A = this chain, B = another copy of it.
Amino acid sequence: MAKGAEIDDLDKQILSILMRNAKKPYTDIAKQLFVSGGTIHVRMKKMEDAGIVKGYHLAVDHERLGYDISAFLGIYLDKSSLYEDVAGELEKIPEVVAAHYTTGLYSIFATIICRDTTHLREVLHDKIQKISGIQRTETFISLQESINRPINIVEKEA
């Protein structure tokens, strides 16, 4: 898992294509990169085994599924040593979809997705604020998502 897998340019090209459209058939990618389908398969298997590819996810329109509000949370801890405990508690809350331990003003930065303002208030007041170790939080509600895309890992693309 923690192997020193060497990633060459072909690997990066493959990842770059799949990061934008993970459903693209290996045979198509093979044609695009002028190699055989089998090669794409071998390279992907290698990268999956090495843990470089962590998964395949579906991007969905949360609003259309009845989850109208996404919000960012800056969390202040009583002591930063409480990070592990608080992260463990956050993980138990399904509405928390992301959490990072950060430098700067806040100790933890989290993203939550809720159905509506009532649901958001419930999560903040009844779940987040109840976690011991959290001093206070600042909430930033997303009014509009302008950008959401993968990083560009290759110089030029086919």
Contact = CB atoms under 8 A, between A and B. Distances in A.
Interface of A: 5, 7, 12, 15, 18-23, 50-62, 64-65, 67, 70, 72, 87, 90-91, 94-106, 109-110, 113, 138-153
A113 B75 CA distance: 21
Most buried by B among A95, A101, A151: A151
Nearest to A142: B100
Contact of A148 (B59, B61, B98, B147): B98
Contact of A141 (B50, B104, B113): B104
Contacts of A97: 147-151
What number of copies of this chain does the assembly contain?
2
A101 B57 contact: no
A46 B72 CA distance: 31
Given A57-B22, A150-B57, A143 B15 contact: no
B51 A61 contact: yes
A52 B22 CA distance: 17
Most buried by B among A5, A52, A55: A55
B64 A5 contact: yes
B56 A23 contact: yes
21 contacts: A7-B65, A15-B65, A22-B23, A22-B55, A22-B57, A52-B60, A53-B61, A54-B60, A55-B58, A56-B56, A56-B57, A56-B58, A91-B147, A98-B148, A99-B145, A101-B146, A103-B141, A103-B143, A104-B138, A104-B140, A106-B140
